[in-house]
Amino acid sequence: KKLAPQPDNDKTTSLAPHTADALGEKMTTNTGLPINDDQNSLKAGERGPSLLEDFIFREKMTHFDHERIPERVVHARGSGAHGVFKLYEPIPELTKAGFLNDAEIETPVFVRFSTVAGSRGSTDLARDVRGFAVRFYTQEGNFDLVGNNMPVFFIQDAIKFPDLVHAVKPEPDNEIPQAASAHDTFWDFISLTPESAHMVMWLMSDRAIPRSYRMMEGFGVHTFRFVNAEGVASFVKFIWKPLLGVHSVAWDEAQNISGKDPDFHRRDLWDAIESGAYPEYELCVQIVPEEDEFKYDFDLLDATKIIPEELVPVQRIGKMTLNRNPDNFFAETEQIAFHLGHVVPGIDFTNDPLLQGRLFSYTDTQLTRLGGPNFQEIPINRPVVPVHNNQRDGFMRQTINKGKTSYNPNSLSGNDPQQVKAAEGGFVSYLERIEARKMRAKSKSFFDHFSQARLFFNSQSEPEKNHLIDALTFELGKVKTVMVRERMLGILAQIDKGLAAQVAFGLGLHIPEALPVNQHVPADGDPADYQSIQVE
């Protein structure tokens, strides 16, 4: 029984018919046969062998044998909650998205917070990035804002993501360490990937060990695009600000708590909602008009950069309240399939090469994780609006589509779904003009890896700086390969000489002189390959 009121909304009401509560009910097989005994298998005599005929045993065991599905390849450990989002004021000048234009409606949401590197059973207290994924069940379909608690990312191009994750996950021979970045492969990759410098500053800071999921920010990271009813676009960064403020624990506190209660964040979120202390976050945006695309000394398409709040103010546009715990962890928190390709009219993408690659990866992985092409029919994934299209069949299809035809165009059936004109809410991609040559390339505007890493370091208070230095010293102290430690000191020296000197002192090493960071692999390919091409 829930302690505090846990209000229903359109989404939780739509889940209700799928829930089952067997209190006082007859026990049956999956075919509805009343079961007389599910504790003794069918045997040849009291002490005899079990019989293959025992369909009750077989059904029970077979289902159990298949209870596990693959955990998420990243963000495997998470906790979810239902809630609602309410807009403060309509923003038609920025976007035509329906849920951002009506301050009267409450849009149902489901949120999943997560760690990134550890497996499903790993500790909540790891020094790691936290996922902050929000699904809005809007009247125009699901909109997923799949963010993290840090505003930047390790890499600029999605094609590097498998390398990053292979480096950060436990090492392949011994599967050590669980949920920690303090190991050789992670720092080897990082020290060879200078674009990660800014993110690593965040990761080594107190931001990486939140006090609670209720007390951390969320960031969409990429620059997205708003489009209004006139077709005018602007760039937008999404930010969640917790009304309880941002709080972290210190490293020794994290280690103590982790040992005593590895479910600390999960329990905190659950208990807060059960007791009626509903977590609240304001949705904020930073808006850059389309004509200001090249105004800054960083590229808006580079996911390793923030837009400093001093340059573009943060506007608070609405509030999310998490007011209901899931009924079933697996059915809801585990089976939800977020994807930043789930957009609504008025919200669109940019050409950020990290964003573009993510648009492929999520559905692709979910096809395996959730067993085929019909996972959008799982109750937690269904939108609150009806779904009609010509997609058919496949493993575990739930919908019984009527009629003979499932193609378009067709002249035989009056039942086929009709395409929707843009003026009536049909999604139309933003008409961005593109004139380009194909190339595997990185824009020069992506080359400055250290200015914002330095900006972040300098923004820290003295105690925070000390924590960051301690974290780097601790983490690099776990790295066995001296060359990797030294190369990393070379990177730190490019961020801040004092920082590098203190970490070097802690490690008992010297900062290497002008160590070329990429002496082993040309991590970004050879620019000469495309720069030498004669372009008329």
Q: Which residues are annotated as a binding site?
A: 72, 112, 161, 358, 362, 369
* Nearest in space to 304 (alpha carbons), one of 444, 180, 451: 451
Closest CB to ligand HEM among 396 and 482?
396
- Residue the block writes with tokens 């090492």: 171
Tokens of 277: 């202390």
Q: Is 183 a catalytic residue?
A: no
Question: What residues from 112 to 131 belong to the interface with ligand HEM (CB under 6 A)?
Answer: 112, 114, 131
In whole angstroms, the minimum distance from the beta carbon of 71 to ligand HEM comes to 8
Catalytic residue among 9, 101, 142, 148: 148
Site string for ligand HEM, 65-104 (x = CB under 6 A): -------xxxx--x--------------------------
- Encoded tokens for 425: 């809410």
CB-based burial, 460-484: b 16+ in 10 Å, e otherwise: beeeebebbbbbbbebbeebeeeeb
Smallest distance, Å, CB 92 to ligand HEM?
27
Query: Does 148 sit near ligand HEM (CB under 6 A)?
Result: yes
Stretch that binds ligand HEM, among 267-275, 309-317, 350-358, 412-420 (CB under 6 A): 350-358
How buried is residue 120: exposed, middle or buried, by Cβ count under 10 Å (0-12/13-18/19+)? exposed
Residue 194 preceded by cis peptide, ω within 30 = no
For ligand HEM, what does the binding mask look like between residues 499 and 528, x meaning CB under 6 A? ------------------------------
Residue type (1 letter), 259: G
Q: Could you say which of 75, 183, 265, 467 is catalytic?
A: 75
Extract the annotated binding site for heme. 72, 112, 161, 358, 362, 369
Q: ∠ at Cα 339 (338, 343), nearest 5°?
A: 115
Select from 378, 367, 369 the least CA-distant residue to 74. Answer: 369
* Residue 364 CB, nearest approach to ligand HEM (Å): 7
Q: Is 365 in the site for ligand HEM (CB under 6 A)?
A: yes
What x/- string results for residues 193 through 222 when contact with ligand HEM is judged by CB under 6 A?
Answer: ----------------------------x-
Buried b / exposed e over 162-179, threshold 16 CB at 10 Å, is eebeebbbbeeeeeebeb
CB of 171 to ligand HEM, least distance (A): 20
Q: Which stretch binds ligand HEM (CB under 6 A): 58-66, 321-329, 362-370, 475-483?
A: 362-370
Q: How far is the CB of 412 from ligand HEM (least distance, A)?
A: 38
Phi, psi of 330, rounded to the nearest 5 degrees:
-65, -50
Active site residues: 75, 148
